[in-house]
Structure 1
């Protein structure tokens, strides 16, 4: 089974949604599943250096007080799922293109899940600027990626066009917000739903996979 997860690495609901998917999968421990992390920039026109957090919140919410109200709800929700998000400590809203590229690079070594975890933690718990190349290099090293290869990759334009193409396809499919989980490219679940909301789709997708598995299982 394949689940494609459209998300942005600065989206708190994507972080929460990831945790809830993991909780759902814990209820189906024998379910063969491949997670594919797909990019979806919330701010595709963001300046390469990002923007001061206060200025960003003022533009998005109309002021800090409104932002604090919204983020209070997010932090409370995240805490219930065991995620110690501290949005008030974030000082800069980054451009996430390079971070998405790093996840793609990590995926070639089977480390996309690890890289995604590290980047979510870096932004929401460590309050780091995940648009900063030094931060990305540090997290890549933690994930086990080759430092020289990663440095050269981030200094290039490799996969930029692929990221843009994937985002374009997502919007053509009607994805307008993240997270969005697509199972076997047929069934979609939008938003950071409770773990129980994943169960019907996991079971439905598993039913499609099982007959194929039975068909190719060799006989003794």
Structure 2
């Protein structure tokens, strides 16, 4: 394997467009982590960007059974769809507990929280905690108390987060980011955008992400032809 000399190169930038109510985004996070573990010769900066799978959900969410009925025709049909997700989760050691989820959330406030965590350098820790809360513990991500506790778990100041959540701070900016993602062609998540130019869509296997990252890093270093977007 050729080792790139990246000492004089800015970190390779990856925007992960994601929604914390998306199980494939949780799986995609695990696969990205595997990919990054394989390329320790390349410095990468990961930033989590907002997306809403269902922006029509009320601000306080919707009863999970009602949501499944409206979206899939009922919990039985949803269970069939989730079988594949559970299998993929098992491969990534994610113990999905969909049966614990009682409320499908509007995730706008969760995305505001992720935005603030970036300022403190705690984005990854917060995104991980939110995924765990929703998919493993069945927590209600529209509950401000849950979000404040998640922030504290990730190393943020809970009192500050409580004040920010009670305001409209960064609400318009977060919504604008979601609109921007749609405008540049993001139609599903997760979507990994490398160096603001190349997109890898879906929870791709780690080896696919490794190949894309290495190709873009080589281009950045001026040693290779860029990949197809």
For 1:18, what is the secondary structure of its paired residue? helix
Does 2:200 match 1:177? Answer: no
Measured in 2, the distance between the counterparts of 1:114 and 1:208 equals 30
1:38 maps to what in 2?
49
Does 2:119 match 1:108? Answer: yes
Task: Pick one of 108, 112, 117 that aligns with 2:128.
Answer: 117
1:15 maps to what in 2?
26
For 1:49, what is the secondary structure of its paired residue? coil
Measured in 1, the distance between the counterparts of 2:159 and 2:76 equals 44
Q: Deviations over 1:27-71 (max 9, x none)?
A: 101211111100001111210110000000001101111101011
Gaps of 5+ in 1: 213-220
Q: Tell me whether 10-19 or 81-90 shows the greater mean CA deviation.
A: 81-90
2:217 maps to what in 1?
206
1:63 maps to what in 2?
74
Q: Deviations over 1:170-217 (max 9, x none)?
A: 1111111100000001111000111111122111121133359xxxxx
1:54 maps to what in 2?
65
For 1:188, what is the secondary structure of its paired residue? strand
Q: How much is the aligned-residue C-alpha RMSD, in angstroms?
A: 1.2
Measured in 2, the distance between the counterparts of 1:54 and 1:196 equals 37
Gaps of 5+ in 2: 1-11, 224-229
Report the structure, 1 or 2, having the larger helix content. Answer: 1
Measured in 2, the distance between the counterparts of 1:22 and 1:146 equals 26
Measured in 2, the distance between the counterparts of 1:109 and 1:6 equals 19
Alignment of 1:17-166 (within 5 A): 17-166=28-177
For 1:104, what is the secondary structure of its paired residue? helix
For 1:207, what is the secondary structure of its paired residue? helix
1:216 maps to what in 2?
none
What TM-score, normalized to structure 2?
A: 0.90
